[in-house]
Homo-oligomer: A and B are copies of this chain.
Amino acid sequence: MGTLAEDLTARTRAFVAEHVLGVDDEFDGDVNAAGGEALRVRLQESARAAGVFAPQVAREFGGHGLGMVDRSGPLEEAGYSLFGPIATNVGAPDEGNIHMLEAIASADQRTRFLEPLARGLVRSAFAMTEPAPGAGADPSALRTRAVRGDGGWVITGEKRFITGAEGAGFFIVMARTSGEPGGAGAGGAGGATMFLVPADTPGLRVGRHLPTVDRAMLGGHCEVHLEGVVVGEDAVLGEVDLGFRYAQVRLGPARMTHVMRWTGAARRAHETAVAYVAGREAFGGRISDLGLAQQHIADNEIDLAATRALLRTACEELDAGGRASESTSIAKTFAAEALDRVVDRSQQLCGGLGVTADLPVAKIARELRPFRIYDGPSEVHRWSIAKRAVKRITSQAGPA
């Protein structure tokens, strides 16, 4: 008998193998054809029955209450399948939204928004990113505005790349309530507020789906138009003008759960490739015994191990109550690149089949690729990592 986390990890692994991987195998790039919302409902029912639903959600909302370190196992196992995260309700963006709402939402908001989301009754979206020159890698460029009107707020602006927007029950909308775009560097400029906006609020319209290379996200990555959307004071999440600070609260854990899920996906690619080369012969021997294959296999093992090690370090910091901005930024940046390398090498190991849908590896490559850009491109993370390092090191007594 292991710990609860170990137990959930093992059971999630079994659940995914039995109930979810088959969906991946059939998946041809059209998530609605794969079942869409009905698929989600069906998979979540199976997950509840298997006792693996919502490992990270508080027990009062039907989850298992695992902290960041403890949820790593179940989320990696869920991520082994493209549809595992939605099945166990640990997928983006809902998982990050649940995390933030647990930390910030009022009692009323918990009842209206958090609980149904945590229980899988609705999906949600996080509406921060905007088309250029608005908020992107540089959030301080935020241009969507909310202005106080009669008994509430009027929100106007354009959002883009809003994950899961189509079919979401509600949106967490980031809007500027003071200050000007680009005021003070990345994330620095004050003046943003988060609003909880039901999807059927007049003036909120989900527009075009961005034609992204990843295809498995239920609800897509969409444009969202906010044209004079009116909400009451009770729509304010937390306090006015603290939106950027709350975004930071969401950010660290959300980065890490992304890493957990993608580690599972990359592991599937790796295991697929190893099984493939161990079962083939070329040039007079098993491919898995050829040195150039061994190099790829070993590098995959190293990249997976380093990803998990960085992940755990950052999660411990989060579990201890830290913001963990630096450690999650480092872990996310390393992981996004390392896991891409793992999948890329796996493709090479599978030869021609590595670039077809006959094995799951190419699909995983397609879904994973954007992770080096989503949640902050590696380049922006490096810029901020470097700035922190220069500040930290030059403020010490001179080391040289």
Q: Which residues of A contact B (CB under 8 A)?
A: 17, 28, 129, 132-133, 136-138, 141, 160-161, 182, 185-186, 210-214, 268, 270-272, 274-278, 280-284, 288, 290-302, 305-306, 308-310, 312-313, 327, 330-331, 333-334, 347-348, 351-352, 354-360, 362, 365-366, 369-370, 372-374, 377-379, 381-383, 385-390, 393-394, 396-400
Contact = CB atoms under 8 A, between A and B. Distances in A.
Contacts of A281: 133
How many copies of the polypeptide does the oligomer hold?
4
A211 B358 contact: yes
B327 A274 contact: no
Contacts of A398: 275
A394 B298 contact: no
Nearest to A276: B400
A298 B290 CA distance: 15
Given A299-B382, A313-B305, A291 B288 contact: no
Contact of A359 (B270, B272, B400): B400
A120 to B, nearest CB: 27
Nearest to A306: B306
A309 B315 CA distance: 12
B400 A373 contact: no
11 contacts: A141-B282, A274-B394, A275-B398, A275-B400, A294-B382, A306-B306, A306-B310, A308-B313, A348-B372, A348-B378, A359-B400
A298 B292 CA distance: 11
Nearest to A390: B288
A386 B294 contact: yes
Interface centre among A270, A290, A293, A356 (most CB of B within 10 A): A356
A385 B351 contact: no
A292 B348 contact: no
B351 A298 contact: no
A105 to B, nearest CB: 28
A373 B351 contact: yes
Contacts of A386: 288, 293-295, 297-298, 301
Interface centre among A302, A373, A383 (most CB of B within 10 A): A302
A352 B297 contact: no
A98 B385 CA distance: 39
Contacts of A299: 382
Contacts of A355: 212-214, 369-370, 373
